[in-house]
Amino acid sequence: MGNVLDDAVAGSQAPLRNRDVRSPLGVSVPRARARRLLAGRGRYTDDVSLPGMLHVAFVRSPYPFARIASIDKAAAQASPGVVLVATGRELAGYCKPYAGIHELFVGMKAPEQWPMALERACWQGEPVLAVVAAGRAQAEDAAAEVLIDWQPLPALTDVEAAAAPDAPVIHPQIGSNIAYDTTLATGDSEAGFSDCAATAEAEFRFARHTGVCLEPRSIIAHYEAATPSLTVIQSHQCPAQQQDIYARLLGLPDHQVRVHCPDVGGAFGIKQQLYGDELAVCILSMMLRRPVKYVADRLESFMSDIHARDHRVSARLSIGSDGRAKALAVDDLFGVGAYSQFPRSSIGEGSHVLRLSGAPYVLQAYKARLRMVFQNKNMVGHYRAVGHPIATAVTEVLVDQAARLAGMDPIEVRRRSYIAPEAFPYRSHGGFTFEPLSLHACLERIVEMMDIPRLRAEQTARKDSSMRLGIGLATFVELTGTGAGYYGRGEARVSAQEGCLLKLEPSGRIRCAPSVTDQGQGTDTAIAQVVASAIGVPIDHVAVISGDSELTPYGGGAWASRGVSAGAEAAYRAARALRENILAVAGHMLASSPEALDIRESRVLDALTGQDRLSLADVARVGYFRQETLPAGFQPELSLVRHFVPSGRAFLITNGIHGSVAEVDTQTGIVTLRKHYVVHDSGTILNPMLLDEQIRGGVVQGLGAALYEEIPYGPEGEMLVGSMADYLVPMAGEMPDIEVAHICVPDRGTSLGAKGAGEAGTAGASAAVMNAVNDALAPLGAFLTEIPLTPERILRALGQVQ
């Protein structure tokens, strides 16, 4: 499963047993054993177990497009340990359909989806049948016995073919494969491309790839009919969102649905939407009245986790004789797969490309077109730095190329073309209002860090060597902390607010329950730090509990770099309020004005003298158990909730710049990254170590996109990767040293002044590497605009292979 079937390649329409699926290595093996061999049992072996828990395995379509003529599940139902074998039609009776439409994008179309395929499978890997058994291996072995009569249909996997006017329509009910088509234009484009020092043009291709989470998607659903209630334990970013979705689609009151997302082993946007197989697990638990568990193995992850970055972009940029950028034109053809992700829709990547291309620069004219296209592939969704790497690469590669054609210094072109510091607030050609950015400051800092003159001297000295040295920069503007205007007006039911519940325990310790969740990036630590500092207690006196829709306030969760920019802001406001309430109680206890008191190291002190007066445990004792000692009518409030939503703007907007130093072997096409640099404006920095490592982690994912990661498809529309053996990700041996620095311009709209940073490392990394490789190869006449920059593509650009 996951690669090519003998029958599929031959075009046979004979009934196909699921056990006949070939592994990505070309060896025919039972699915259960294939998974163990190729992917390992991973974290799902027996990590979490509930009494009476069942396990589900899914039969998935081996074809990118096919009708389901019939399903024979008799053999599977008779297999050992099997409790239920359910089709998509059977599950559909328990839920409502859903469609990934974003109302903010007028005219957007998207077909309805169900948990599993009904009459047709529209992408390879779409779930078709669920087999529930006492054990995972039993479920997989029984799934191998399912006999399906497939009727393959001509698949549209190439985005250009799918967008053609005469292309067969994948979803006839919406009338076209074009989900959304829009144009954005400002200024006089014709004038912008006339009387120029140079115009750079290019056709860019950005390969599909995906986030490779250490922990795969996993879910346990437990429906209890007696209550009734549905409890879901899930590896997900957004517990409140999932609670709302499950309640609405399954027809349950939302207070009867609990979603708990404990420690999550990486997400990167892969785990922020609804997957049909996960909704199916909830339905199966409702059908069987028992807990049901599903964990995607690595092969299933490649097939069914959302993909990203499937863009073909035609673009051109002009610069004038004064060295300033003049005009930019962009045409983005964006393939999103067979459906649009729910509830956020798949439009985000394309929208960000449309509105962020050229964002750092003052342009006389800007024109961009976006077409979002359905195709017979897995869905494209929101992966780390949604759309930013595409917009940054298109812009920055053209800036370097135009400067090269005009014989100008690309650093000086940037310096002259940036939005001037005195121009803020600035209305961008993409329709955003930029508060003060630090574009020039970031540029000057990275030029100093990299010591560009020294690198240029080394480059000149090695001009006759086969190991060429390249230097690349990439400036980006970053949208973080998404506000209410984006999803609220789009009716996507994604919360832009974050909340934080704080409680002073009788022991004097603080219990903290934020709505933001921790995916391994250290958000819980940052929240604890903010709360401890704002109240005046040691950080180990703060216990953080997150990721539980039943225990935490309503909020968005983890996405759009909002853990600190929105989550910590809510925690700070809650902590200041709790501190005020604690001092109000202490003031009555000490017959003192609260303003004359302070809290340090969990002790109430005299603010002027520092005299120790009370412990927080003393305050809690009176507040909870000795209220009769307080004035009549005074109500001690030692637990509270505060919320924060970025108001008046759609995003918290910031910026940064990447620098890459790369060596390219012109004989082998191999790129060696010598060092990578990032300068980012994160606003107020709360935890420098967590911040720097977040940026470094993002850089690694961006470098993976630049050099290694790609999900290719074969001529029949079959996916050609199935394991970590053939999907390359950067490891320690491939990674350069990554030096991170910061420019700190606090955000004016928040108390803390912090900005998002979780996606900054990914936003510009691949663009900087592209520019470094092109800089190294420019003297040889090579110019690359397709990533990943594989050795084969580099050698082809050098004319050494056809």
Over the Cα atoms of the chain, what is R_g? 28
Instruction: Please give the model's pTM, rounded to 2 decimal places.
Output: 0.93
Residues of the chain with pLDDT under 50: 1-14, 21-46
Residue found by looking up tokens 């053996």 in the block: 725
The model's pLDDT over 118-144, given as tens digits with 9 standing for 90+, comes to: 999 999 999 999 999 999 999 999 999
Residue found by looking up tokens 């040691």 in the block: 538
- Residue 446 has φ and ψ, to the nearest 5°, of -75, -35
Task: Concatenate the DSSP letters of all residues of 583-649 into one string.
Answer: HHHHHHHHTS-GGGEEEETTEEEETTT--EEEEHHHHHHHHHH-GGGSPTT-----EEEEEE---SS
The model's pLDDT over 164-186, given as tens digits with 9 standing for 90+, comes to: 999 999 999 999 999 999 999 99
Structural contact between residues 530 and 752, judged by C-beta atoms closer than 8 angstroms? yes
With 0-12 CB in 10 A as exposed, 13-18 as middle and 19+ as buried, what is 431?
exposed
CA distance 55 to 348: 34
Residue found by looking up tokens 């592209």 in the block: 770
First-residue to last-residue Cα distance in the chain: 32
Distances (CA, A) of 339 to 85, 101, 126: 25, 10, 11
CA distance 704 to 789: 10
CA distance 539 to 527: 10
* DSSP 3-state of 537: coil
For residue 132, the cross-strand partners are 56, 84
pLDDT of residue 471: 98
What tokens were used for 314?
């035609």
Distance of CA 683 to the CA centre of its chain: 22
Residue 562: what residue type? R
Distances (CA, A) of 14 to 5, 6, 68, 144, 148: 12, 11, 12, 16, 9
What tokens were used for 765?
């990394």
Distances (CA, A) of 260 to 222, 242, 301, 769: 12, 10, 21, 39
CA distance 355 to 429: 7
CA distance 41 to 295: 10
Distances (CA, A) of 216 to 39, 138, 195, 297, 503: 11, 20, 54, 7, 34
What tokens were used for 557?
């969760």
The model's pLDDT over 457-483, given as tens digits with 9 standing for 90+, comes to: 999 999 999 999 999 999 999 999 998
Residue 578: what residue type? L
Q: Answer whether the bond into residue 228 is a cis peptide, omega within 30°.
A: yes
For residue 28, the cross-strand partners are 22
Residue found by looking up tokens 């394991």 in the block: 723
pLDDT of residue 51: 84
CA distance 720 to 173: 30
Residue found by looking up tokens 């029984």 in the block: 142
Structural contact between residues 261 and 547, judged by C-beta atoms closer than 8 angstroms? yes
